[in-house]
Chains A and B, each alone.
Chain A
């Protein structure tokens, strides 16, 4: 598993993918952070985290698009699948590599809070509310959970196709739909259907965390979604052997 993890992480940086991912992520997050805090003259970060969730849905497919599709296209998956390594370990190795890339962004983006904190606590410059550490930690935790789901979904889609482009487009579509549910759900007249869609809504569950509330149900929800898609990816490879 470690071999696959290392190889995957390396491959992000031997191709342009890793650099593009990091550059786009940091640029977007930096810009949105500035626009939602400094420019608004506030230390409140709730809006920033909601934007961050949307940005992740756009950029995480860059990481996941070639996870398996590229291996399938170049037939290198034959090496992995005939090596004495279980499919589960192979999938986890790849998943952890993408997750690590994602965590680099999460950790790097936390440096944004330092100037914000310095800026807001200095009363002589502004009288705005300083950032709430608990809210930031809660939101970051939720972001990590949502990222785990997005990566698992993207990985699953990548395992279904050998076309990277198809993988990125479909993943983006699915993630957009998951986030969009909460927007159009209000227009659905039937409460029963609304209830079903609500269950799929990544956004609604995210919301509590941005207020620093720990939502245990949401934690279970995010972990389950990530788990289900990791499991489905494993099943894809097991099922393919029988085709």
Chain B
């Protein structure tokens, strides 16, 4: 659906994007993940035809965004980082304008009604955009992207600045849109891609560091197995004993205590199950184990690992 090939964008001598390639298939919800300044918005702006690339191509459903921009742009609905709203218009006037701007041939009133229903802005249709709350403004921005029923919808940081309830609503909306559209979503919030997307493309310093299905990414990166253990006993001795267990890679003592018990994070080699050994050792020493649970690697950790790893390779 969207094919991005060897995309390079230079600002002066700085590479904002350094040879990025990936393909987005029809029906996918792709999370485009990276820290601020990684090149997310630049990529989105090039894909939507707002910026030109230094080199490389973007092909949207067979139409090149540089050679055939008008045809390609018709296929894309775009919500930029800051929703492009004319605040002196009412919601209805604004959507009418966007409808005409995009040169839609659908039944105007019916189409706009539908979109207002999907984005839940019917109640504010006749209000001036400047008087709306941030959450509503964002939804009007989403409505604008949906006008003309483009098969591809691109959201640049759609939940920034919203309150938690609004964030959940916007995410649900995007998830629902994903059932009928191809969605590209950029964000620096990891839980967002985890909850919404079925594929994640991670970008850092203008380079792609990972491109995986959401569930695979966890497995790929999770080389070691981590446990969270709560042990009642002297902190230093327990720590020392745990470290000497075969298969333990690292041990971290958290500053969390529960009466005389301390919490440790143990990381073990992937092929060795240390839990039985751990229980026995602690029992032998007379330090009761009050809790033991597996800790999956957080996307946060994955992200740091990925960006660190690639960063080191590059140096």
List the interface of chain A (C-beta within 8 A of B).
2-4, 6-7, 10-11, 14-15, 74-86, 241-243
Contact = CB atoms under 8 A, between A and B. Distances in A.
B306 interface: no
A83 B89 CA distance: 19
A11 B70 contact: no
Interface of B: 11, 45, 48-52, 69-71, 73-74, 76, 78, 80, 82, 84-89, 93, 97-98, 100-103, 144
Nearest to A2: B100
A190 B162 CA distance: 66
A81 B48 CA distance: 9
B79 to A, nearest CB: 10
A119 B228 CA distance: 100
Nearest to A85: B101
A3 B84 contact: no
A22 B244 CA distance: 86
For the complex, would chain A's binding face be called helix, strand, loop or mixed by DSSP majority?
Answer: helix
Given A2-B100, A84-B103, A79 B84 contact: yes
Nearest to A87: B69
A4 B78 CA distance: 18
Given A75-B80, A241-B51, 9 more contacts: A6-B100, A10-B93, A74-B86, A74-B87, A75-B84, A79-B98, A82-B78, A84-B102, A241-B50
B97 A3 contact: yes
Contacts of A86: 69-70
B101 A82 contact: no
A243 B11 contact: yes
B50 A83 contact: no
B73 A80 contact: no
Contact of A76 (B50, B73, B84, B100): B84
A80 B52 CA distance: 15
Contacts of A82: 48-50, 73, 76, 78, 80
A83 B144 CA distance: 11
Contacts of B80: 75, 78-79, 82
Contacts of A243: 11
Given A84-B103, A85-B101, A11 B88 contact: yes
Nearest to B72: A84
B102 A14 contact: no
A86 B71 CA distance: 11
6 contacts: A74-B87, A79-B98, A84-B71, A86-B70, A241-B52, A242-B52
Contacts of A7: 86, 97, 101
Given A4-B101, A7-B97, A83-B102, A78 B50 contact: yes
A3 B100 contact: yes
Nearest to A15: B88
Nearest to B99: A3
A54 to B, nearest CB: 32
Contacts of A85: 70, 101, 103
A76 B86 contact: yes
Contacts of B89: 14
Contacts of B82: 75
A128 to B, nearest CB: 48
A84 B70 contact: yes
Contacts of A6: 97, 100
B100 to A, nearest CB: 4
Query: Top 6 A-B pairs ranked by shortest CB distance?
Result: A3-B100, A79-B84, A241-B52, A84-B73, A76-B84, A82-B48
Contacts of B70: 84-86
Nearest to B47: A82
A224 B243 CA distance: 83
A158 to B, nearest CB: 17
A2 B102 CA distance: 11
Contacts of B51: 241
Given A75-B84, A79-B144, A242-B52, A3 B76 contact: no
